[in-house]
Structure 1
């Protein structure tokens, strides 16, 4: 497969690390990996894996820039013969969405966090497959953005075990007890709570060393200063080190005795937790968001309430005083990391999501004329089903989570009228019957637009217009189906991106319909009609 990932920049961070890990292993498996970003310090590493990088300002929110980037991305998709466009952030996702539509390419998103309920964020739920890092993010996309349950795939972040060396707490007891917090210095990461907890820990742990790894973005320098002021005020400056941003997280973790994640509100996943567990470092974390997917309290780590620095301190002291507890937590956590969060599993699940998107289709057949005409279309409908069979293919655990029982391989929906619905109600070739009534509820422009809205929410991959009039062509277009088939008959036929000239030659209705299906490599083998 030829896969393009697009994200704002390639600097140190969880999104960027995941992008590199996936690209590295895609290349290893013989796939083409292309990444589009505004560049950054990780570009050289990406290219050393054999991936291709294009530097474009896809991080800018300027509408003019985004419009230019759509055109540029279309060129890249065509040049690299991309099959999957995978967006990992909102601005790049808008660019990728429109470029994908222009090139009839599969569009996939990964939701790396919580998004404000704002129209700008809607695009993250528009992928044919929407990858989420945790169950809470999946629920967030369903509840706040109406993302269909069936499109969501749970694929947690992973850790490359080749980069992390497991050393249990029993093997690295030192004179100093090193406790670290790793992440951007921002209010949501809870550094102030962490420092308050460490002040209490310091009274019980005489040789405490506090490591603060990460830095503040320019907009949060004032918050970083408030953290430093609190460290001094609580008398911890002598045992606290601000290490700044580092790419070598494995080296940092090799010197830690305990990791604290103090996030105050939402945490989509918490990659650093898994990295610590891969290194044999016990973890104390706040009970927020996707953290509860990773840590089972008292088994693979200790959980505390967010904002409760007293409980956080008590948990740290508990592990310090009970060597056997720290060892048990580390061993259990490492076992879970190997089984559930290794990078090979992430790559496998992601490739399955890609293949699923490439091979599973939702098909709309439009035929809403008289009963006789609909009956004459039954041979075509049967042939479409034979081309796109349904069934329950074997699925990995990535499609059997809370967000996925095994799904129909291909789903066929038929849009028909009130007068003809009984002819299709019992059809074994149709999975869903959509009934319209242009004399009543779907009357006029408003009714047509409401019907189009219903179709759009179905997220069809292709529409097959057997009706071929202005109304049906318009509905096919407004459904936003990626591929739209029908006749170019001067009845808004230009709205279809796969069309055949309607020649003025008298053809029987069945042959007329199969000329459309020929574009899908469907031949007329069985002209029998069904009632």
Structure 2
């Protein structure tokens, strides 16, 4: 099969700012670079233009809907897209659209790939647990099932009894050209601080996760409340994105911030869309949920890639990406792993991070970026994903992409 004959159809609810969305874009970029065609079926989002700029095509369908009637209707619509565009492989990245994509792909006789992007939490009680597990099982029904961490690979095996012959662990990767500290000017960092209402001399704790009870902003507030007066002096805790959160939860956070006397320390700021600058403006970042295990933990590798010390949940994907001080020692660590829902442990980790000397911080910055660029770079993720497509299509997408990467590095 010629590479120009390969048409990969990715299906994702929306194209906004999450890890699944950015991975969709990165795979579309890789496909077009080797001469294949990339199509993305989605409801839209701000990354849609980037797909088109990369040479891909975006087709808008209401695939975010969980309405059974809509899901069934989408089977016929996606099947028509597969037929009209000559799609040779379908790759689904979320449950509701995966149901439609699965039946459409089977109907047209093309390979079906899924990426298990989340832990897909389950109710504790039956029959709700069984129903939710059945709903999530569509993500384990691909001809190949991509897990974005070994943690997720093990979860798939335990929950769905999916064999290793179909599961491929592929870590998400960091785009080294976008997350590049050398491209960020001091002026850009100063502008970010000004947007946050933070002085450049302040010590900044950044928690760039969606503001939600499942992420753990309340744990951060409780931890900061436990810090001593010296550490609180000149400290700012930045929580981006209150406009995207539920008003009730924001009100609850603001109430607790006031009760703890942290009104001058904890700042709720608008959503940040320039994360490379944000990480350079921070002294320490909290990577991912402090409540539930993260499937992978994109913010943890982003922070490390920008040389920012990171604190993350010891359960889930970050345990595979963060080099914990207690595990690897003071000469090799890139952050701290702490138990979930533990403000005491978070307070201890914050004290360590905020107490780093300039020399210690500089050494950490160098080794953290090297760690991420070596093991979690975007090109390796692209190569590994294209290799999965190769397994099913009998082609050489990964080989050609490797050549492109090698030539670009010369």
TM-score bucket (shorter structure): 0.7 to 0.9
Give matches, 1:370-389, under 5 Å: none
Partner of 1:347 in structure 2? 382
CA contact (8 A) 1:186 1:216 kept: no
Alignment of 1:220-235 (within 5 A): 220-235=246-261
Match of 1:157 among 172, 177, 184: 172
TM-score scaled to structure 2, two decimals?
0.83
Q: TM-score if structure 1 supplies the norm length?
A: 0.64
Aligned to 2:241: 214
Q: What is the Cα deviation at residue 237 of structure 1? A: 1.6
Q: CA deviation at 1:202?
A: 6.0
The gaps in structure 2 that reach 5 residues or longer are 1-5, 123-131, 190-198, 326-332, 400-410
Offset at residue 13 of structure 1 (A): 1.6
Asked if the contact 1:183/1:215 (under 8 Å) is kept, the reply is no
Match for 2:275 among 235, 246, 249? 249
Structure 1 residue 239, shift from structure 2 partner: 2.6
The one-character-per-residue Cα deviations of 1:227-258 (angstroms, maximum 9, x if unpaired) are 12112221222233222323221221121111
Asked which structure has the greater CA Rg, the reply is: 1
Corresponding residue for residue 382 of structure 1? none
Aligned to 2:79: 74
Alpha-carbon distance in 2 for matches of 1:102, 1:326: 56
Among 363, 367, 392, the alignment partner of 1:332 is 367
Distance 1:216 1:146 in 2: 40
3-state SS in 1 of match to 2:115: strand
State whether residues 92 and 101 of structure 2, in contact with CA within 8 Å, keep that contact through their aligned partners in structure 1.
yes
Determine whether 1:265 maps to 2:292: yes
Aligned twin of 2:354: 320
Alignment: residue pair count: 360
CA distance in 1, matches of 2:161, 2:220: 36
What are the superposed Cα offsets for residues 59-96 of structure 1, whole Å, 9 maximum, x if unpaired? 11222212221111111111221111000000010001
Shift of 1:23: 1.2
Which ranges in structure 1 are unaligned for 5 or more consecutive residues?
361-394, 397-531
In structure 2, do the counterparts of structure 1 residues 322 and 254 end up closer, same or farther at CA, with 3 Å as the change threshold? closer
What is the DSSP-based 3-state SS (H/G/I as helix, E as strand, rest coil) of the residue aligned with 1:35?
strand
Map residues 95-110 of structure 1 onto 2, 5 A cutoff.
Answer: 95-110=100-115
1:288/1:183 Cα in 2 relative to 1: closer, same or farther (>3 Å)?
A: same
In the alignment, does 2:224 pair up with 1:198?
Answer: yes
d(CA) in 1 for partners of 2:139, 2:23: 17
Whether the aligned pair in 1 keeps the contact of 2:215 and 2:290 (CA below 8 Å) is yes
Which of 135, 153, 166 pairs up with 1:138? Answer: 153
- Kept in 2, the 8 Å contact 1:6–1:88? The answer is yes
2:298 and 2:365 map into 1 onto residues whose CA distance is 16
Contact residue 243 and residue 271 of structure 2 kept, 8 A = no
Root-mean-square deviation (Å): 2.3
Distance 1:351 1:18 in 2: 12
